[in-house]
Structure 1
Amino acid sequence: MKYTVSTEIALPREEVVRLLADPAQLPKWLRGLVVHEPLSGEHGQLGTRSRVVFRTGKQEMECIETITRRDPADLRDVPGTSVVHFDREIVGEGMWSAVRDRLTEVRPGTTLWESENEYRFSGFFMRLVGLVMPGAFRKQSRQHMRDFKAFAERGADVREED
């Protein structure tokens, strides 16, 4: 299953990249995040492997995230580039996912965030979930983008909604 979601954020690309790359900001916009801890490497750097745990209701899902592309490698070099790429691979029980994010300055002070998502499932249960509920994955991706946009533009914190 593949799909792409996108949103425009009313901030300069450099600020959007800084907020997305800051691990201290993740709990403020990444709904359901319980743990995001590097197992090897430094948070957000190419090749870093991290343990990620999400909770939805009473269900928890643990995955391993690997950063597979970060271009430019040093995000302080953003002003001279046309597009920032940030890709990761996420592997959990019965699931493999690739997320390819592109951040483009569409006009001064406005950033387009495009996220291409690909999922593959194994095992009877996860394949069934992928067949029966494909829209749930797209919906979750859109929710994460809306939450980040609200956080970046207005300082909204998903933890304060409960």
Structure 2
Amino acid sequence: MKYTVSIDIDRPIDKVIELFDNPDNLKKWMEGLQSFEHLSGTPGQVGARSKLVYKMGKRDIEMIETVTVRKLPQEFSGTYEADGVFNIVKNKFEKISDTKTKYITEQEFEFKGMMKYFAFLMPWAFKKQSMKYLKAFKNFAEGQA
């Protein structure tokens, strides 16, 4: 499954990148994130691996992030592996004006086991969750001085 979502943020691209590129900010806008633990490599650089733990409903979901591309603002990409799900995420940022930035995320999912059925029955849920995170980041970024 592949899709793209985007949102316009009323902040200059340099500020958006500064906020996006700081892992300490993740909990400020990424609902459900319980922890972000660096595992290996240079943090934020290609090859770096980190463990993210999310609380979704009553479930804890662990995933491993591997940074695959770091060419900000043009692209910051990574893979995310969890039980039954392999996700490739490409984050891109485009300057619209001196005070406005477009944040684009391209998502590609591969599913195994029971997750294949969930994805088949409810593909809209993944796009909805991605858009929820974009909106949360927009609200966070626009609220920063």
Coarse TM-score class (shorter-chain normalised): over 0.9
Structure 1 unpaired stretches of 5+: 73-82, 156-162
* 1:149 partnered with 2:105: no
Give the drift of 1:36: 1.0
Aligned residues: 144
In structure 1, what residue type is equivalent to 2:105? S
CA distance in 2, matches of 1:94, 1:26: 24
* Shift in Å, 1:24: 1.1
Is 1:138 paired with 2:116? Answer: no
Distance in 2 (alpha carbons) for counterparts of 1:21 and 1:42: 14
Q: What is the RMSD of the two structures over their aligned residues, measured on CA atoms?
A: 1.1
Deviation at 1:154, TM superposition (A): 1.8
Matches within 5 A, 1:120-135: 120-123=110-113, 125-135=114-124
Select the structure that is richer in helix.
Answer: 1
Alignment-derived partner of residue 116 in structure 1: 106
1:18-55, Cα deviation, whole Å (9 max, x unpaired): 10111111100011001111100233211100011111
Looking at structure 2, the residues matched to 59 and 94 of structure 1 have their Cα atoms a distance apart, in angstroms, of: 15
- Of 91, 98, 115 in structure 1, the residue corresponding to residue 88 of structure 2 is 98
CA positional deviation for 1:91: 0.7
CA contact (8 A) 1:23 1:43 kept: no
Letter in 2 for 1:2: K
2:37 is equivalent to residue 48 of structure 1 = no
Q: What amino acid is the match of 1:132?
A: L
Runs of 4+ aligned residues of structure 1 deviating over 2 Å after TM superposition are none
* CA deviation after TM superposition for structure 1 residue 8, in Å: 0.5
